[in-house]
Amino acid sequence: MFEPDSALPEPISPEAPRPFVDLVQEFSQFGQSSTQVSEGEIPYLINEFWTAGQRQAHSIHEVSYRACFKPQLPEFFITRLTKAGDAVYDPFMGRGTTPVQAALLGRRPIGNDINPLSVLFTRPRLEPPAVTEVARRLDQIKWDEGEIDQPDLLAFYSTRTLRHIGALRKWLIERAPLTGTPDPVDDWIRMVAINRLSGHSPGFFSVYTLPPNQAVSAQSQRRINERRGQTPPDRDVKALILKKTASLLSDGPMASHPPSLLTTGTAQSTPAIASGSVQLVVTSPPFLDIVQYAEDNWLRSWFAGIDVTSVAIAHHRTEVGWQHMVRDTLTELARVVQPGGHVAFEVGEVRNGKVLLERLVWDAAEGLPFDRLFVMVNQQEFTKTANCWGVKNNAKGTNTNRIVVLQRNERGTPGVPAQRERR
C-alpha cells in the first residue's frame, strides 16, 4: 500500500525564498555524503540522491514512454520543495511521470506536452477507475464485429486479434473522442490498450517486436518475422487489458489531490496556466540527440485516431537552436512559477558527454528572474567520477541525471516595487 510522504523529511513551505546554503544542506542529507564542486561559476552537487531500488515507485507509473525519467526524480523534489495542495508542473510531461507523482503526493498535477498522446497517457491515471468497472465495460464491447481497415497491421497481429483491436478502436473513437471530457472508464481502457499494442512479450497484443515505445514500421516488422520465423499468434485483447489494469492498480488507489490541468501544446507558450500559479516545475526537455517521437508513436497514434503528421515536434539539432528552445521555455516558466518557487530542469548525457547540456541550460537562464542555485548530478554507484565532467566519458553504462535547480526570485513580478527586486 502506498503511503504518501511516509519516512520522508517534512515538506518545505516554498513561501519564503530559501537561502542557497539551506537547500544544499537539505539535499545533501539525502543518501551518502555529497561532493560539491565548482566548475567555472556553476556549483555542482554530486551524490546518489536517489536510487531506483531504494523506494519502489507506485505501480501506476508502469507505462512505457521513450526517454521518461524515473518517478524517484520528481518525488525527490516534490517532497522537499512543496506541501500538499501546491501545484507541480511539467511542461514536457511525456508519459506524465511528474503530474502522476504529484497527484500521488496530494499536490495539484499540471502537465503539458506537444504530443497529444501525453494527455491520453496521463489523464486516466490521475482518476483511475476500479478494476470491476473496467471489466464490466470490456464486456459491453462487441469484439467479433471489428473490421480490418489497415491490412498492413497483419505484420503485427493475427486476423482475430486485429479484428478485436478494430472493435475496441471503433468503440473508443465513437465513445471517447479526443476533444472534450471522455468517460473515465473508456479513457482508462484506451490508455492501457495504447500501452499493450506492441512489445516484446506475450503481455502485448502483437507478435514479438521492439519494446512498446519504439514501434517499427510494418515493413520492418515483416523482416523481423522472417528472420525469427514467427507468425503473429492470437492474443486475448480483453484479458490483457484487464491484467495490465490490475497490475497498474496493484499498489492501491490514487491519493486524493486537487483538480489537474493538462494541456497539449508547446512548452514555450502555455496560456491556460495562470501566472504565478505553480510552486514547482520538474521537467526534462527533448535532448539534442534526436528521439523521433512521431515515428516512434505512429502505431499508438493510429489507434488513438491522432494524425501523427499534425504533431509539429521541432527538432533542435544544434546547440544554439536547442538553447533557444530552453531559453524560451524558461521565460514562460518565469511567468507561471510564483516567487520562491523552484524549477528542477533535468538533462541527460548526450554525444558521449561531449556536450554538457546543463551548462547550456545554466547560460540560458542568464538574466531571467531566477536565482541559479546549482546543478545536481545524481550519480549511480557504477558511475565513474570522471564521467560527471565529460572527461574520458566514453564508458558504456554511464547513467547520470544532471538537474539544474533554479529558484524564482521577485524580479518582474507584478506588484513588487522595483527597489525590492534583488538584481
Interface positions with ligand SAM (CB under 6 A) = 65, 67-69, 91-95, 97, 113-115, 118, 266-267, 284-286, 293, 313
Count of Cβ atoms closer than 10 Å to residue 273 Cβ: 21
Residues 6+ away with beta carbon under 8 Å from 263: 111, 112, 119, 270, 272, 273
> Measured from the CB atom, is 34 or 90 closer to ligand SAM?
90
Report the chain's terminal Cα–Cα distance, integer Å.
47
Q: Is the dihedral of CA 282, 288, 294, 296 positive or negative?
A: negative
Rounded to a whole number of angstroms, the minimum distance from the CB of residue 62 to ligand SAM is 12
Position of minimal CB gap to ligand SAM:
94
> Measured from the CB atom, is 57 or 185 closer to ligand SAM?
57
221, amino acid identity:
Q
Rounded to a whole number of angstroms, the minimum distance from the CB of residue 160 to ligand SAM is 33
Rounded to a whole number of angstroms, the minimum distance from the CB of residue 387 to ligand SAM is 20
> Measured from the CB atom, is 65 or 143 closer to ligand SAM?
65
> Measured from the CB atom, is 113 or 168 closer to ligand SAM?
113
Cell of 138: 470490456
Rounded to a whole number of angstroms, the minimum distance from the CB of residue 300 to ligand SAM is 12
Output the CA–CA distances (angstroms, integers) from residue 307 to 95, 174, 187, 294, in the order listed: 19, 16, 19, 10
> Measured from the CB atom, is 34 or 213 closer to ligand SAM?
213
Rounded to a whole number of angstroms, the minimum distance from the CB of residue 141 to ligand SAM is 29
Rounded to a whole number of angstroms, the minimum distance from the CB of residue 22 to ligand SAM is 27
Rounded to a whole number of angstroms, the minimum distance from the CB of residue 53 to ligand SAM is 18
> Measured from the CB atom, is 170 or 324 closer to ligand SAM?
324
> Measured from the CB atom, is 95 or 190 closer to ligand SAM?
95
